[in-house]
């Protein structure tokens, strides 16, 4: 519905429609269970408002069918909604492998988005219809929460951690972006526009948007500028872990643990290298905490993710 009778934001994805269906279904169940109670309460209050002599005779005994049904049927219906909601939760917890990854940095009081090709936006996010999109998010200062009402999605954005959400928007239009976590003085104005475009229009937007190269290219420039290649290149005389093919691989650590080299591990290895030292190496890498912004770390991570397995010697 629209205008004065719009009860919810417009739906921009199939997931949003499913969330609305489960909400309306549970609302109907709640009304179905509570309305008879209030109706009978009002009815008997009106009927017996003047009172009457109490009947002390014992009522005839009845079977437990009504009482049992009143307990079991709502319980089974509630379990059905629980299963339905659990299915929606797990459906949205794992992004498809071919999802378009867009980096997000929350900062008092703005949202900064960066596309794989290096296109940057502030308080605006352009995405194509019909393609899964994964947002990898972190905060530069305090806790924020990215809320996309048209998708019925919200995810906390935390300093020092990567969180993510994914969606597949299928209805072109311009929708709202909100911050759903109180984050300071101008929290109420921390928002923006969520622009869903046809694939061809999105391609034209990417082509005309300014860029300094892809995220991986920008990450490579940072990699060279900060001297990382002095230790991690094949020609280096210092012993440092090989980075080719590192992303997604099981990595043994000096303390005996084995971790997966995911986005969070790569970020922590850049900013806090002494925390998780690779097995067989000394903790001599300097920290880059305070030297790199969260946006720069995301570019470095994009570069490391772009490095495929090392080519075998011929």
Of 106, 123, 104, 124, residue with least CA distance to 114: 104
Residue, of 97 and 48, whose pLDDT is higher: 97
Mean pLDDT of 8-12: 86
Q: Tens digit of pLDDT for each residue in 83-94?
A: 999 988 888 888
pLDDT at 214 over 90: no
Q: Tens digit of pLDDT for each residue in 285-306?
A: 888 888 888 888 899 899 888 8
Distance, CA of 104 to CA of 178 (rounded, Å): 14
* Mean predicted lDDT score pLDDT of the chain: 86
Domains of the chain: 100-208 (2.60.40.420), 215-306 (1.10.760.10)
- What integer pLDDT is reported at residue 312 of this predicted model? 34
pLDDT at 5 over 60: no
DSSP for 112-129 reads EEE-TTS-EEESEEEEET
- Strand-pair category, 110-114 with 163-167: unpaired
- What integer pLDDT is reported at residue 46 of this predicted model? 85
- What integer pLDDT is reported at residue 162 of this predicted model? 93
% of the chain exceeding 90 in pLDDT: 43
- Report whether 258 contacts 252 (CB < 8 A): yes
- Strand-pair category, 100-107 with 133-139: parallel
pLDDT at 129 over 70: yes
- What integer pLDDT is reported at residue 54 of this predicted model? 66
* SS percent in the chain: helix, strand, coil, step 5: 35, 20, 40
For residues 112, 276, 263, 310, the Cα torsion angle rounded to the nearest 10 degrees is 130
Identify the weakest region by mean pLDDT among 22-26, 69-73, 207-211, 237-241: 237-241
Residue, of 117 and 7, whose pLDDT is higher: 117
**What predicted TM-score, i.e. pTM, was given to this entire model?**
0.79
pLDDT at 245 over 90: no
Q: What angle do CA 308, 310, 313 make, to 5 degrees?
A: 150
Distance, CA of 39 to CA of 41 (rounded, Å): 5
Mean pLDDT of 249-274: 88
% of the chain exceeding 70 in pLDDT: 91
pLDDT at 225 over 90: no
Residue, of 199 and 236, whose pLDDT is higher: 199
- What integer pLDDT is reported at residue 228 of this predicted model? 83
- What integer pLDDT is reported at residue 310 of this predicted model? 47
Q: Tens digit of pLDDT for each residue in 150-186?
A: 999 999 999 989 999 999 999 999 999 999 999 999 9
CA count, 13 A, side-chain hemisphere, 32: 11
Q: Look up residue 259 and give its two tokens.
A: 């971790």
Helix (H) or strand (E) holding 232: helix 229-232
Of 161, 112, 169, 191, residue with least CA distance to 272: 161
Residue, of 146 and 246, whose pLDDT is higher: 146
- What integer pLDDT is reported at residue 38 of this predicted model? 92
């Amino acid at each position: 519905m629209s205008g004065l009778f719009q009860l919810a934001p417009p739906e921009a994805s199939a997931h949003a429609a499913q969330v609305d269906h489960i909400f309306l279904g549970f609302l109907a169940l709640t009304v179905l269970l509570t309305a008879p109670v209030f109706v009978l309460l009002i009815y008997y209050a009106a009927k017996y408002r003047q009172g009457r002599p109490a009947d002390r005779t014992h009522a005839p005994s009845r079977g437990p069918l009504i009482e049992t049904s009143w307990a079991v049927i709502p319980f089974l219906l509630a379990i059905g909604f629980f299963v339905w909601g659990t299915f929606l939760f797990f459906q949205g917890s794992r992004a498809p492998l071919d999802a378009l990854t867009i980096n997000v940095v929350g900062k008092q009081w703005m949202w900064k988005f960066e596309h794989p090709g290096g296109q940057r936006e502030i308080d605006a996010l352009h995405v194509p219809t019909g393609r899964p999109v994964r947002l990898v998010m972190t905060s530069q200062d305090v806790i924020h929460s990215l809320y996309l009402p048209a998708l019925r999605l919200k995810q906390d954005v935390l300093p020092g951690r990567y969180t993510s959400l994914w969606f597949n928007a299928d209805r072109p239009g311009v929708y709202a972006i909100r911050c759903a976590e109180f984050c300071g003085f101008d929290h109420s104005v921390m928002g923006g526009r969520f622009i869903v475009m046809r694939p061809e229009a999105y391609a034209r937007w990417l082509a005309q948007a300014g860029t300094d190269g892809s995220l991986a290219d920008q990450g490579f420039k940072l990699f060279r500028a900060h001297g990382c290649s002095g230790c991690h290149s094949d020609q280096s005389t210092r012993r440092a872990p090989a980075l080719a093919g590192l992303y997604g691989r099981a990595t043994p650590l000096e303390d005996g643990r084995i971790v997966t080299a995911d986005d969070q591990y790569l970020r922590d290895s850049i900013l806090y290298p002494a925390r998780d030292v690779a097995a067989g190496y000394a903790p001599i890498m300097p920290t880059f905490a305070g030297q790199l912004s969260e946006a720069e770390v995301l570019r470095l991570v994009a570069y490391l993710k772009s490095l495929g397995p090392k080519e075998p010697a011929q």
